[in-house]
Structures are given as structure tokens and as C-alpha cells.
Structure 1
Amino acid sequence: MIVQMRICVPAELTGLVAEQCEQQPGTAEVAVHAGASVHPRGDVVVAYIARESVEELLEKLHVLKIESLGSIAVSAPEFVLSDRADRAEETAPGEGADTVIWEEVSRQTGEESRLSWTFLSFLVLATLLAAIGIVTDSTIAIVGAMAVGPEFGPLAALAVAVVRGNWRLGGRASLALGPGFPTAMLTTALITWLALPANLFPRDVLDRASAAEFIYHPGPFSLVVAVLAGGAGMLSVISGRSAALIGVFISVTTVPAAGFVAVALVLGEFNKAAGSALQLLVNLGGIVAAAVAVLYFHRLVTRRLSDGAALRLRRQALRARR
């Protein structure tokens, strides 16, 4: 896959940035637009480069502090017809689908991990849908609740925060999950309590709900499923295959477990509520642990910019500014 990098850079660093882009394996084209940037003043360098080479080039640009002096924008054109682009992809090391662009992953998970009314609304609605599926013994409603739940975004952000040491991102994700699940569970419990006088469901409904037995019976396979789902979910995030996330959502019982806890507490089924709460914790922990493992693996196999190369770039940047 070929991506476009648009780099806004001070004029004194334009030559060095263009040189780094041109020398980067996997580069198809480099164009320099002198004086194209008005605010801030400077030039614009546009490069077409194979996705698998983007992370290494970004590291070189970070050494030059381009993100502070100007800006870096990365986008993926829908269609590029170029023999040079084809050759660039062939010469670039690795495979584009296996490439992790860390800044892209951090920003994507960061956007999905914010505590917002939209996030809370989706989580509350998903938990209510799970509760309805539980009291009506409807597997379809429970699976629907799994698909609606937005909790994977903050969980993925926690994994990225652990691997990259980005504690600001981790705090934001924790802030979304911390109040999020209790709010959804309290709302579900309140509505369940209000529904009892209307006799919408019998008080012994949990004894009859065969479709929900797996929710409050955590076992070894609960952790196995959570780990597999967490690994698959993080792979889908870093590879840009969002369709695979749907399968992740409907394979783990985070939202159904939260809904079951709320219903069971209202009905006085404290043992089942405890089992469901354990199921929730096992799933959350397993997803984060697996996502962290996937990211660490990619970090180990991804080529990193050496300290010597970084030092040489810093010296060149200082000479260019003088």
C-alpha cells in the first residue's frame, strides 16, 4: 500500500527532509513546494511512500522535531497508478499489512477512548440490551449487545499506553472505563427495579434463562476467548481491518456480564452476580493482556532507528539551522 506524507517544514530544513524522504527505501516520489506554507512560514514536502517504510521515516522526522516546527500528515490515496509506486512497494522491507504506524495507532485508540456522552450512551444502551436479552432468554439480543458495546476502544488504548509508556492515554482510557461500566450497570439496575412492579418478567427469571448461563459461569475458556479476542482485536486495529472487530465484539461477554450483574443484584441473586462480575474482570484483563502481547511482538520485529543514525540526523539539523 502506498501512502502520502505531507510535511510542512521550515525552509532551512527542507533540503534535509527531502533528502531523508528520497533516501528512504520504499519511496516512490518526492515533491518540494517552496514557500507553499504560509502559517507557519516554510515549504511543503510531499512524498509517496510504501506503508511499511512510514514508521522508520517518521522516526527520522521526529529526530528533526518536525512535528514541533511544522507538521506531518499521513493519508492513504484510494488509487495510485504508477510503476515507481509498484517498485517502491517491492523494495520496501516487510509487508504493509504487518506494519505498525505507532502514531496512527495511538491517535486512533485515543479518539475512541474518550469519556463522552456518545461513549456512555452506547455503553448504557448495550448494557440495557443485554439485560433485556437476559430476562427474555434471547440469545439474539445478547449478541446484539456485544456488537453495540464500545468498550474495546478504551481497552486497546490501555494496551497502547502500556507498550508506549503513554500514561496520559492510559489515564484517559481508564477514565472512560472507570465511570462507564458503573454508570451503565447502575442505569440498568434502576430500570430493572422499576420494571419489577409491572411484572414484565418473573423474579426467578435467572433460573430459567438458559441462554445466559455462560455469563455467570466463568471458566478456563472464558480467559482463552478473551485472550484470543484481544489479540484479534489489536491485530485488526494495527492492520486497519476494521471489519474483523465485529467478530471481536460478539465473542467476549463484557457488556452481557455487566448487564447480568445489574439484573442479578436487583433480583437478589448475589452468587450469580459475583460470578458474572468475575466474568467481566476476566474478559477485561484478558483482552488488555493479549493486546499488549501483540503490540510488544510487533515492536520487537519492527526495525527501529538506531541511536547512531539519530545522532547523525540531529547534527545535520543543527548545521542546517546555523
Structure 2
Amino acid sequence: MALRLLEMVIPHDATASVGDLPSVNKVIERWDDQLNDKQSLVRMLVNAVDSEALLDDLENRFSDVNGFRLILLNVEATIPRPSVTVSETTDPATKSPERISREEIYHDVAQGANVTHVFLAQVVIATVVAAVGLLRNDNVVIIGAMVIAPLLGPNMSLCLATTLGDLKLAISSLKANVTGLAVAFVVSLIVGFLFVIDPSIESIKARTQVSGGDILLALASGTAGVLAFTSGAPAALIGVMVAVALLPPFVVFGLLVASGEFDAAKGALLLVATNVICVNLAGVLTFVAQGLRPRTWWEAERAKNSTRIAIATWCALLAILALLIYGAR
């Protein structure tokens, strides 16, 4: 199991109370150092799955203390190996979730909601690569666009914002999503105007029709994306699953609109809408199943309401789309 090192700066007279915290029994090793006349540095080695409970206890106890600072570091290896690797508990209420801490997840996921020059460049590059792959009917090139995965971040951050009831993050995520899709649409339009688009190309035609398999694929993509984030997997590995459901069909939509194939473009847009709904629905459900919730009870209550509304909304939209899909047959 992965390890984490917690470094905390607190006043000298507060170090003794660290041992009274409920989750301190999950600490593998602890070291205290004196920084100056007033402050001490407390280091604690813990399992990654135990870090969230300890972080919450430390923040609850010392957040109002002057000079308090808490830093969480990833531990690649330690020698000698710790003799205790897993916290044993039989009480489900106190058992650590099988994931990295909320703070780590938030730090990794929330960055995807930022509209930066790098993000915009990634969207442009991924769209061009995907368009070329679609026109050449080359799945290897299309997968290359998925690895870039520019739309991964905004969708995962929207799922996280919904689960935590974080309105500010939700707004940033929606802005990033809209911006990314708008840029991808414009770029795919330009490519569509520059090249002759053949709607009968297999890679394009396959993304103008929606089936039950596409719904299952998008649900699996959203689940895989969240599970990878909560386990600390590299973003490139996460992106392929999510991008397979989002970017290529939206590029197909832009290419077909540029070529005047509006009927086929409607099918591609319907696939995009289905995929966005399924990815976000599966993402929120997976975050909830992983036990991700805010630290304080009042934030948790707000998050619970937000999650219920989001799940109900996504399910309603999915039901409407399913009726449209199967009703058109």
C-alpha cells in the first residue's frame, strides 16, 4: 500500500495533544523536531488510505491555532520497510476508505477546471489529431488524441464538485467544459471546411448512431475515470477511457456540420449528449460509493442535497435521451 508523510507545524505546547486524536493510532511512525523557540515540526508516516481521517482530525483540532500548517507528501519508498502496513479494524464506521485522501483528489481533479493556455492548446491539438484519425479511419491516431485527453479534467471536476457540493468548482468546471467543447467545435469546423468529408467512412459513421452499448461504454468510462483518480493513477491512463466517449464523437459532429451533413450530425450530437450525461452520472455515483464527502457536517448536508439533485437530473436526462434513441428506431 502507498504511504504518505504528513508534516505539521504547530506551537510547542500543542504537540502533546496530537496523541489524543482519534486517528493517531493509524500512524506508523512519528518524529517531532523543534523549529524555533515557538514552533515544532511533527512528521507522521501513514498509509495513503488512512491519511484522510488523520488530516481531518488534525485540521479540526489545530486549524484555529496560530502558525498551523499541514503538508501532505507522497512517499515513493522507505527503508527499512514499515512493520505495520494496514490498519486493522472491524468497525465499518471507522474503516478507512480504499482510496487516497479527499485533499489529494481535490488537488488533482480541481486543476482540470482551469482554462489555461495549455488547456486550450491541448484541446486544439487533440481535436486536430482526432479529426485526422477519423478522416483516415485510423484508430491508432484517434487513440493518440484520447491520450491528450483535454476534456477529462472539466468532466471529472464537475463530478467532484457535485459530490462535495462545491458551487465555485462546479461553475469553473462548467466554464472549462463549455470552453473546451467550443474550441473543439471551431477547430473541427475548420478541418471540415478544408477537407472533403465522407460520412460513409467507418470511423465517422460509427459515431453518428447511438445504441445501448454506447450508454454502457460511457457509464464505464465515467466509473473508470473516477476510480483511477481516487487511486492516484496517472492522468494519461485515465484519459483514454473518458476521451473515447467524449472527444471523437464531438469532432465528428463538427466535421459533419461543416460538410452540410446535418442529419448525420444530429446523430453525432445525440451521442455526445448521451456520453456527457453517462460519464457525469457514473462519476458522481462512483465518488459517492468511494465514500467521498466534505469534512464538516454542514458541508456534508449541502453536498448530500447537491448529489441527490445531480443524480436525479442526470437520470432524468438519460431517460429522455433513451426514449429519443429507441423511439427513433
TM surpasses 0.5: yes
Q: Which aligned pairs between 1:106-121 and structure 2 lie closer than 5 A?
A: 106-121=106-121
Q: Which aligned pairs between 1:22-33 and structure 2 lie closer than 5 A?
A: 24-33=24-33
Shift of 1:67: 8.0
Q: Pick from 282, 286, 294 the counterpart of residue 294 of structure 1.
A: 286
Q: Which aligned pairs between 1:212-231 and structure 2 lie closer than 5 A?
A: 212-231=204-223
Name the CA shift for 1:43/1:258 in 2 (closer, same or farther; >3 Å): same
1:256 aligns with 2:256: no
Q: Distance in 2 between matches of 1:109 and 1:254?
A: 18
Q: Pick from 252, 255, 258 the counterpart of residue 266 of structure 1.
A: 258
Q: Secondary structure at the match of 1:206?
A: coil
Matched with 1:43 is 40
Identity %: 19
Q: Distance in 2 between matches of 1:82 and 1:146?
A: 40
Gaps of 5+ in 1: 308-322
Structure 1 segments of 4 or more deviating over 6 A? Answer: 92-97, 304-307
- 1:252-275 Cα shifts (integer Å, max 9, x gaps): 231111211111111100111111
Query: Aligned pair count?
Result: 291
Gaps of 5+ in 2: 299-329
Matched with 1:177 is 177
Matched with 1:76 is 74
Matched with 1:211 is 203
Shift of 1:227: 0.6
1:162 aligns with 2:162: yes
Q: Secondary structure at the match of 1:253?
A: helix
Q: Which aligned pairs between 1:109-148 and structure 2 lie closer than 5 A?
A: 109-148=109-148
Shift of 1:29: 1.4
Name the CA shift for 1:255/1:88 in 2 (closer, same or farther; >3 Å): closer
Shift of 1:150: 1.7
Amino acid at match of 1:81: I
1:37 and 1:44 in contact (8 A); partners too: no
Name the CA shift for 1:179/1:191 in 2 (closer, same or farther; >3 Å): same
Q: Secondary structure at the match of 1:137?
A: coil
Amino acid at match of 2:208: Y
Q: Distance in 1 between matches of 2:229 and 2:46?
A: 21
1:147 and 1:249 in contact (8 A); partners too: no
Deviates more, 1:85-94 or 1:124-133: 85-94
1:56 and 1:305 in contact (8 A); partners too: no
Q: Secondary structure at the match of 1:76?
A: strand
Matched with 2:238 is 245
Shift of 1:285: 1.4
Shift of 1:88: 5.0
- 1:82-101 Cα shifts (integer Å, max 9, x gaps): 46x32253547799892241
Q: Distance in 2 between matches of 1:151 and 1:37?
A: 47
Q: TM-score, normalised by structure 1?
A: 0.81
Matched with 1:149 is 149
Q: TM-score, normalised by structure 2?
A: 0.79
Q: Pick from 80, 84, 88 the counterpart of residue 87 of structure 1.
A: 84
Shift of 1:16: 1.5
Structure number with bigger Rg: 1
Q: Secondary structure at the match of 1:257?
A: helix
